[in-house]
Amino acid sequence: MADFLQQLNESQREAVIYNDGPSLVIAGAGSGKTRVITYKIAYLLKNGISPHSILALTFTNKAAREMKVRVTEIIGENMTRLLWIGTFHSIFSKILRREASRIGFYSDFTIYDKQDSKNLIKNIIKEKKLDDKIYKPTFVQNIISKAKNALITPKQYANNCDLIEQYNQAQKAYILYDIYLTYSNRCKIANAMDFDDLLFYTYLLFNECKEIAQKYWNRFQFILVDEYQDTNFAQHEIIQQLTIEQHHRICIVGDDAQSIYSFRGANISNILNFRSIYPESKLFKLEQNYRSTQTIVNAANSLISKNREQIPKTIYSQKAIGEKIRLTGFYSDYEEGSRVANCIAEMHMLKKYEYKDFVILYRTNAQSRIFEEALRKLNIPYKIYGGLSFYQRKEIKDVVAYMRLASNLADEEAIRRIINYPNRGIGDITVNKIIAAASFHNTILWEVLSNPLSYNLKINAATFEKLKKFQLLINRFVEKVSTQNAYNAGRMIIRETGLINNELYEDQTPENISRIQNLEELSNSLYTFVSSRIEEGNANIKISDFLAEIFLLTDQDTDKNENINFVTMMTIHSAKGLEFKNVFVVGLEEGLFPSELSKQNLQEIEEERRLFYVAITRAKENVILTYAKNRFQNGQFHDRLPSRFIKDIDEQYLSLPSKSHVCTNSGGGGSFKESSLINHQNNQSNIGDLRIGNKIRHKRFGDGRIVALIGKNDNAQATVEFEQVGIKQLLLKFARIEMINDD
């Protein structure tokens, strides 16, 4: 037992072994935060706490999975199987499915994704004949989301003077209330919850059913929360519901400097106020960074010190001083892309880094494209995270909508999506009649659609027949879904929706081929899902079980090739918690990073600065910052200035490409082109290990042998005799060559 505690430093160990009451662990970037949580869980288990009574909450499935793996490594699988480690959303949806009847839902409720919920809001606005220029669906969606995150019910919303004040006109506030109320009712009738509902209803459940709350607070004798700075008000309150009235055994871990989700309702004051809520709580600070060089840590400190709101702490590193942070500007986004790609190729070749040692971090997903092209040109393997996840692809969502409907006939958004896809002659007019009748009679769409005559639907005989046919098709699916396992039922649905034959098989465009492959992939994952559950001893796995699982999956969770060596590309947001040897932070421009939209107020600028802090602190060895003076965005070219955040970093940690001021636009351009991303500290660096006589391979010219090496630094050139194309002079700075074995 003492053994595994030896692997911790003094302050980590103190945090791990204190378990008598609430504790707050402020953990700087790279200070072993996950380590503390996992060791604490192991420590608790070794001290006789039952795994059944420990709850650990994270923000991503990936973090949860990793945590479980690491606890298992310390303490063995038998103990960890019963642990509840998961995201807020997945743990709460598990609880809600168990207790669904208490709050007027059925346990197989659908989870509406953002698109579903936006569509529903859009339809409600239309049905109420409101002007969607004033009540923009996205805006209304945000209002509703904020209300739920603040635990405000529609009823409370109506009476909330602050809000009425805020919208300046009672009229508008009232209409928003009305939409919110209708939206809530429609979701309930559809037996559906959106992401916010998973938190909101959990709170209501615990609040209104004391005996249920009691059941869970008795059960969870110890609660751990990771990334507490990212909790919103609802999450914060639920945690308190589970701990405050009884045992107070809660440990929260976080770093206020890494709070980057306020747009999603995260509230930094949750972590700042923790100590006043639990006055007896103990505070632990983890200040030693084990990840990055001193230069990186110091540079990050100098950056974050420009923010006002923060818990004081001194993050330090005892690793090597390390290289300075490199900063380079380019003429265009295009040049930025190709030079970053070249730099990766060069560092890969000359400095013996593997591709997986690199990450390119950007502010917006849209920036990935240029880097993707540049890397592909150089044949560098890469993987882009984010963007469209597998389950958000159209063809997958279509089939999944059939599955959703078959296992929850109340699902309004699923019906709307597929009632006329593939085309079966049931258009908007008919659908709107059905919806009108359904909301008039306060019933589900399916009910009206199945008995159009008893609801006095004004449709002609032909439409009646079409509805009948649709109804029969779905009924067959329903039957299959309730009798067969997920795989068999899913296969049948994929086959018989007719999507493959009608829509996709017609012409063999690459897009269609990939869509069909995706459907096969879906069928494969159904198979894996069912068989892995059977291994765990649960036979009889239904489509609804599968759906419950995939609703909360994101792109990062569907990753299959973990082991392959590739350059990673992702947004800074999704990079949180990860680390890489070399980090490129690209697009450091005013209007992009910080984003144009965040320039309104200081708080948002501070959040963007924290985001930059997160980006820099991902790096173990090198940070390379780039910006473009001109960028193509939203269909046009924009001149761009370097980001204000660049000058927030203490200059002593930066290595500039030239003496010109990087933060003004008066640099005269010329200096940018000559700058190289690589620090050429010695004459040999471009030549690297190349020697006369070495055999090399060039992407375009093929194989060849070096006959001469001349020049130094950026001018280093090699004369190469190629087998196919004869003698060529190559400027090593740009040449894409690799050494190959001579045999």
Nearer to DNA, 134 or 727 (CB): 134
Among 154, 386, 452, 704, binds DNA (CB under 7 A): 386
Nearer to DNA, 122 or 377 (CB): 122
Among 76, 425, 669, 726, binds DNA (CB under 7 A): 425
Q: Which of residues 221-280 bind DNA (CB under 7 A)?
A: 260-261, 263-264
707 bridge partner residues: none
Nearer to DNA, 487 or 551 (CB): 551
User: Which residues neighbour 334 within 8 Å (Cβ) at sequence distance 6 or greater?
Assistant: 370, 632
Q: Which of residues 555-584 bind DNA (CB under 7 A)?
A: 555-556, 570-571, 573-574
Let me know if 33 is a catalytic residue: yes
594 upstream amide cis, omega within 30 of 0? yes
583, 359 contact by CB (below 8 A): yes
Among 259, 293, 317, 430, binds DNA (CB under 7 A): 430
Nearer to DNA, 29 or 732 (CB): 29
Look up tokens 């003492």; give the residue.
Answer: 2
Number of other CB atoms surrounding residue 609 within 10 Å: 21
Q: By CB under 7 A, which span of 7-15, 426-434, 539-547, 730-738 interacts with DNA?
A: 426-434
Q: By CB under 7 A, which span of 170-178, 286-294, 597-605, 619-627 interacts with DNA?
A: 597-605
Residue 33 in marked binding region: yes
Nearer to DNA, 88 or 222 (CB): 88
CB of 198 to DNA, least distance (A): 8
How many DSSP H helices and E strands does the chain contain?
Answer: 30, 24
**CA-CA distance, 627 to 672, in Å (whole number)?**
11
Spot the catalytic one: 108, 116, 227, 346. Answer: 227
Residue 32 in marked binding region: yes
Let me know if 258 is a catalytic residue: yes
726-731 β-sheet, strand order: 726-731, 717-722, 702-710, 695-698, 737-739
Nearer to DNA, 634 or 664 (CB): 634
Spot the catalytic one: 194, 197, 226, 589. Answer: 226
223, 250 contact by CB (below 8 A): yes
Look up tokens 């030549």; give the residue.
Answer: 687
Please provide the DSSP assignment of 358-426 as one string: EEEEESSGGGHHHHHHHHHHTT--EEE-SSS-GGGSHHHHHHHHHHHHHH-TT-HHHHHHHTTSS--S-
582, 621 contact by CB (below 8 A): yes
Let me know if 618 is a catalytic residue: yes
**CA-CA distance, 661 to 107, in Å (whole number)?**
61
Nearer to DNA, 141 or 191 (CB): 141
CA-based R_g, the chain, Å? 29
Please provide the DSSP assignment of 319-363 as one string: S---PPEEEEEESSHHHHHHHHHHHHHHHHHHS---GGGEEEEES
Judged by CB under 7 A, how many residues of this single chain contact DNA? Answer: 46
Spot the catalytic one: 80, 258, 293, 497. Answer: 258
Residue 30 in marked binding region: yes
Q: By CB under 7 A, which span of 34-42, 278-286, 359-367, 703-711 interacts with DNA?
A: 359-367
CA nearest to 60, candidates 253, 230, 251: 230
Let me know if 34 is a catalytic residue: yes
Q: By CB under 7 A, which span of 21-29, 184-192, 409-417, 418-426 interacts with DNA?
A: 418-426
Residue 490 in marked binding region: no
Q: Which of residues 54-93 bind DNA (CB under 7 A)?
A: 59-61, 87-90
Let me know if 681 is a catalytic residue: no
602 is a contact residue toward DNA (CB under 7 A): no
* AA identity, residue 723: E
Among 236, 319, 363, 629, binds DNA (CB under 7 A): 363
**CA-CA distance, 142 to 129, in Å (whole number)?**
20
733 is a contact residue toward DNA (CB under 7 A): no
Spot the catalytic one: 291, 416, 533, 618. Answer: 618
110 is a contact residue toward DNA (CB under 7 A): no
Site pattern 170..209 for DNA (x: CB under 7 A): -------------------------x--------------
619, 298 contact by CB (below 8 A): no
CB of 574 to DNA, least distance (A): 4
Q: By CB under 7 A, which span of 37-45, 280-288, 373-381, 424-432 interacts with DNA?
A: 424-432
279 upstream amide cis, omega within 30 of 0? no
* Residue 353: C-alpha distances to residues 120, 565, 572, 578 (Å): 49, 11, 22, 18
**CA-CA distance, 466 to 499, in Å (whole number)?**
17
CB of 263 to DNA, least distance (A): 3
217 is a contact residue toward DNA (CB under 7 A): no
As given in the structure block, the two tokens for residue 197 are 């509902």
CB of 467 to DNA, least distance (A): 10
Look up tokens 């409907």; give the residue.
Answer: 405
CB of 635 to DNA, least distance (A): 3
Residue 147 in marked binding region: no
φ/ψ of residue 345, rounded to 5: -60, -45
631 is a contact residue toward DNA (CB under 7 A): no
Nearer to DNA, 261 or 382 (CB): 261
Residue 320 in marked binding region: no
Q: Which of residues 499-558 bind DNA (CB under 7 A)?
A: 552, 554-556
**CA-CA distance, 161 to 390, in Å (whole number)?**
43
Q: Which of residues 122-161 bind DNA (CB under 7 A)?
A: 122, 132, 136, 138
Nearer to DNA, 523 or 556 (CB): 556
Spot the catalytic one: 13, 14, 34, 604. Answer: 34
CA atoms lying within 13 Å on the CB side of residue 411: 28
420 is a contact residue toward DNA (CB under 7 A): yes
Q: Which of residues 632-661 bind DNA (CB under 7 A)?
A: 634-635
Nearer to DNA, 511 or 689 (CB): 511
CB of 115 to DNA, least distance (A): 8
As given in the structure block, the two tokens for residue 313 are 């702490």
CB of 431 to DNA, least distance (A): 8
378, 602 contact by CB (below 8 A): no
274-278 LR contacts (CB < 8 Å, sep 24+): 274/22, 274/24, 274/228, 275/24, 277/240, 277/244, 278/21, 278/22, 278/244, 278/248, 278/250
Nearer to DNA, 22 or 386 (CB): 386
Among 240, 514, 518, 595, binds DNA (CB under 7 A): 595
CA nearest to 391, candidates 549, 568, 572, 196: 549
Q: Which of residues 459-498 bind DNA (CB under 7 A)?
A: 463
* Residue 614: C-alpha distances to residues 43, 573, 578 (Å): 29, 8, 10
Binding residues for ATP: 27-34
**Residues classed as catalytic:** 33-34, 226-227, 258, 618
Report the interface residues with DNA, using CB under 7 A.
59-61, 87-90, 114, 122, 132, 136, 138, 195, 260-261, 263-264, 363-366, 386, 420, 423-430, 463, 552, 554-556, 570-571, 573-574, 595, 597-598, 604, 634-635
